[in-house]
Amino acid sequence: MSNDAIVHVIDDDLGVRESLCFLLAAEGLAVRAYDSADAFLRKAASVPAGCVISDIRMPGTDGIALLRRLKANGWSVPVIIITGHADVPLAVEAMKEGALDFVEKPFDDERLLSSVRSALERGQTAAEQNAETSEIRARLGTLSEREGQVLHGLVAGKANKIIALDLAISHRTVEIYRANVMTKMKAGSLSELVRMALVCGVSPR
């Protein structure tokens, strides 16, 4: 778990915010509090890695809408939803929208802390994956148009001679482009190259 990880607490109830912040800080966790989901979303693109604890019922953007906004913007931060007993059906809907967990009020301290620890571990993994994806996208951006075409052929599982026929170039030329792609993508094997391409959504052609 990264020491830079932050727990972002979102609740319109000041008392709940303060209670959560006190509990988390007592465990040595870094915490930031927001009185609305909109206040969090205004800063979400630049927030440090970590996790979110959000009430499900809030004025403006509620917990469900928050999950949808995060998903729509590609922000893969783990979210724990806080609910009242009567809101369990909403909590189940939140899980379907991508929430990692939900905790009912009045919440048990250890239950909540256990969920937060799991979320922070998940968040660290997500942050590492996001960093890897960004690096792979940067490498993809260095490929020439022809190298990109060869990459698409390789992802489709085509042999060099088939790629050569498709592109109306020689087998030897495909080999050269393939070598360039492997070098630029820093791939140690064809399987690694394909994995990197798929991570970034490169589709077979």
The kind and range of the H/E element at 155 are helix 145-155
pLDDT attached to residue 3? 57
Which CATH architecture group holds 141-199? Answer: Orthogonal Bundle (1.10)
pLDDT, one tens digit per residue, over 31-63 is 999 999 999 998 876 766 789 999 999 999 999
* Contact of 82 with 56, CB cutoff 8 Å: yes
For 74, phi then psi, to 5°, come to 75, 20
Whole-model pTM over 0.75 = no
- 149-197 pLDDT, tens digit per residue, is 999 999 888 989 999 999 999 999 999 999 999 999 999 888 888 888 8
Instruction: Please report, rounded to a whole number, the percentage of residues in the chain having pLDDT higher than 70.
Output: 93
35 three-class SS: coil
Neighbours of 44 (CB within 10 A): 18
Q: What's the mean pLDDT when you consider all of the chain? A: 88
**Least confident span in 12-16, 86-90, 99-103:** 86-90
AA letter at 16? V
Q: How far apart are the first and last CA of the chain?
A: 40
- Domain limits, CATH 1.10.10.10, in the chain: 141-199
Q: Tens of pLDDT along 110-128?
A: 999 999 999 998 877 766 7
- Superfamily of domain 6-131, CATH level 4: Response regulator (3.40.50.2300)
Ranges of CATH 3.40.50.2300 domains, the chain: 6-131
Weakest mean pLDDT among 20-24, 73-77, 176-180: 73-77
